[in-house]
Amino acid sequence: MEFKIFTLNCWGIPMVSADRKERMEAIATALANSTYDVVCLQEVWSDADFFLIQEKVKGTLPQSHYFYSGVVGSGVCIFTKHPIIDTHFHKWVINGYVHKVHHGDWFGGKGVALCKIKFHDYIVNVYSTHLHAEYNRKCDEYYSCRIVQAYETAQFIQLTTPGADLVVLAGDLNTEPGDLPYRIMTSLPQLRDSMLEKENVEKFSTNLDLKNSYTPSSLIKKQLPGVRIDYVLFRAGPSTVAILEEYLQPLPELVPNKRFSYSDHEAITSTIIIKKNEIDLSSISLDCRQDVLNDGIEALTKGMISVKGHKIFYWIATLILLTALILTFCFAVPLPGLFHVLRVLLTLAMCYTLVMATLWNMMEYNSLYSTKLAMQVTLRGLEFKS
C-alpha cells in the first residue's frame, strides 16, 4: 500500500504574515486537488484559516483535527482521507519565555500532536509538531529548550507507538540534520529521514530557500543556501516493512498567477510503501542512542548552569532596583510628579526581575533537570540491554 504524506509550515500569523489570506486560499486549493493520504500543517494560528482549509478540502480530506493549546492555539492541524480513530496532544514542559512577546512561542502552548489513523488494514500513528524557533544560531538562547522538546517528542513517540504498523513524524522541527535535537528525534524512536532514504534525490532547503519570494534579499544577494528544518521521518511497526518510494517538493515556486510563494517554508511530501508479513531490519545502533543521550545530558547540565547564572543576574538586578527605589524616597525633589512616575517604573521593573529570579527561574531549572533525569533513566535502560 502507498501512504502519501504532505507537510508545510503555513506561516499564518494574523496581522504579521505577508499575503496570509491569499496564501491560505492557495494552500487550500492545492490540497483540494491533491491525492495525499495525510496532510500536516503548522503555523495555522487562526481558526478562520483552519475552517477555510477544512471546507475546501472536505471532498478529498474529509477527516481533520486542530490541536488547541496555550493562549493562541498550537498552530498544528492534521487532515486525512482516512478515519481518525484517536488523537492526543502532549504539551511540552518548556516553551520559551513569556516575556519574549516578539517571539511568541510561549503563547502557542506548543507540543507534539498525534492522530491515530485507520489506513485500510493498517494502523498509522501520524505525529506533527513545531519546535521552538532558533532565531540566532551563533548565540542560541533556546538550545536547551529545543533539547527538552526533542527528547519529550522522542519519548512520547516511543510510549505511544505499540500496535502501530507505521509511524510518521512530520513538521517543522527547527533543527538542521546533525544537530543534537535532530539526532534525539531520529535515534531514540529509531525514525528514518525521508530525504536520506531516497537515492539521487535533489538536495534542497525548506526555509530561506533562494527561490522563495519571502527569503530576505540580503541572503539572496550573498547566495547563502537555505536550511533544511522541515521533515518527514518514519519507521515501520514490528510486523511491517516501510520503504520510501518518493520524496519531493510538491508545490511550484510561486502561487499560480501571483508573485509570492505559498509560505516562507517549502512543502515536502513523502510516499511510503508499507507491507505486512515482513521484518524491517533497519534500526539505529544501541551505541548511537547512548551517544545521543550522553550528549543531551551534557548539554542540559550546561543549560542548568546557565539558568543558575540567570538567577544570580536577576537577583542582583532586583537589589539594584530596590536600592534605587529606596533612594527616591530619601531626598526632597523639585519635581515630585516625575519622581512618582519613576517610582512606579522602578517598582514594575523590580517585580519583573523578582519573578524571573524566583518563580520563572525555578520553572525553567526544574524543566531542564526533569528531562536530564529522564534521559539518565533511558540511558540506564539501554545499558541493561547491551
Tens digit of each residue's pLDDT (9 = 90 or more) over 180-230: 999 999 999 999 999 999 876 777 899 999 999 999 998 888 888 899 999
Q: Which value, to the nearest 10 degrees, does the dihedral of the CA atoms of residues 97, 98, 99, 102 take?
A: 90
Q: Which helix (H) or strand (E) holds 26?
A: helix 20-32
pLDDT at 223: 86
Class of the CATH-defined domain 2-282:
alpha beta
Q: What is the pLDDT of residue 284?
A: 62
Helix (H) / strand (E) element for 132: namely none
Q: Which residues of the chain have pLDDT under 70?
A: 99, 101-104, 106, 200, 278-285, 332-336, 384-386
The pLDDT of residue 129: 96
* Cβ-Cβ contacts under 8 Å for 58 (sequence gap 6 or more): none
Give the pTM: 0.82
pLDDT of residue 361: 87
Q: How confident is the model over 51-73, as pLDDT tens digits?
A: 999 999 999 999 999 999 877 77
Indicate the burial class of 283 (C-beta count within 10 angstroms; 0-12, 13-18, 19 or more). Answer: exposed
**What confidence tens digit (pLDDT) does each residue in 150-169 have?**
999 999 999 999 989 999 99
Q: Contact at 8 Å (CB) between 268 and 7? A: yes
pLDDT recorded at residue 13: 92
pLDDT at 103: 64
Helix (H) or strand (E) holding 373: helix 361-385
Q: Closest Cα partner for 148 from 308, 358, 370?
A: 370
Q: If residue 115 lies in a helix (H) or strand (E), which one and from where to where?
A: strand 111-119
pLDDT in the model for residue 101 = 67
C-alpha cell read off for 367: 524543566
Partnered with residue 351 across adjacent β-strands are: none
- The DSSP secondary-structure symbol of 356 reads I
User: Can you tell me whether residue 4 is helix, strand or coil?
Assistant: strand
pLDDT in the model for residue 242: 95
DSSP type of residue 265: B
Q: Which residues are catalytic?
A: 265
| 137 vs 147: CA distance, rounded Å | 14
Predicted local confidence at residue 226, as pLDDT: 92
Please state the domain extents for the chain: 2-282, 287-385
Question: Are the C-beta atoms of 150 and 181 separated by less than 8 Å?
Answer: yes
Model pLDDT, residue 97: 73
